[in-house]
Amino acid sequence: MDAEHVGDDIVEILFTEEQIQARIAEMAAQIEADYEGKDLLIVGVLRGAIMVIADLARSLGRHVEIDWMAVSSYGSGTKSSGVVRILKDLDTDIAGRHVLIVDEIIDTGLTLSWLLANLTSRGPASVEIATLLRKPEAVQMPIDVKYVGWDIPNEFVVGYGLDYRERYRNLRDIGTLAPHVYS
């Protein structure tokens, strides 16, 4: 879906589809170099990371396994509640594996901090984090993120997997959602 299909719901386009694809290719090149000779398992955080994972995996010039977790701390709101629930756990045993958690955005860091601790307790060889977007001003729980696409202001953004009440995920660009939509 193009931005023109959502009318005045988007205040500003932050990143175009072309910019997103170029940045993901750069991140993929770094990931490939860092995991040379290592068996890599990518763990996607559903649902928002679907677009990022699909394009990241296609940008890698190597075999990679993908598994998914669904965790929630938002419900249908716009702010994290800080209470994390596992909605879907991994199907793969990660003991001894090199794991790369991939998410579309890091907001408060509360959910990802919890997920990092949870996965680390399962005995992987390593666990790192990659995210397309990070909101440094919103961070309440600092976490070490190895791969970051962009740091963005603390605004409500949608598109490329990011949603508001399950809408806008299929928007090709990433943009700031107009307050009249969620107020």
Question: pLDDT digits over 132-178, tens only?
Answer: 999 999 999 989 999 999 999 999 999 999 999 999 999 999 999 99
The pLDDT assigned to 2 comes to 87
**Residue range 40-85, pLDDT digits in tens:** 999 999 999 999 999 999 999 999 999 999 987 755 555 555 678 8
From the number of C-beta atoms within 10 Å of its C-beta (0-12, 13-18, 19+), residue 142 rates as exposed
The CB density around residue 168, as the number of other CB atoms within 10 Å, is 23
Active site residue 107: yes
Instruction: Please say whether the beta carbons of 21 and 45 come within 8 A.
Output: no
Which one is catalytic: 55, 103, 107, 173? Answer: 107
Handedness of CA 160, 103, 28, 143 (dihedral sign): positive
- In this predicted structure, what is the pLDDT of residue 77? 52
CATH number of 18-155: 3.40.50.2020
Rounded to whole angstroms, how far apart are CA atoms 25 and 19? 10
Read off the pLDDT of each residue in 15-24 and give the average, rounded to a whole number.
98
Give me the pLDDT at residue 27, please: 98
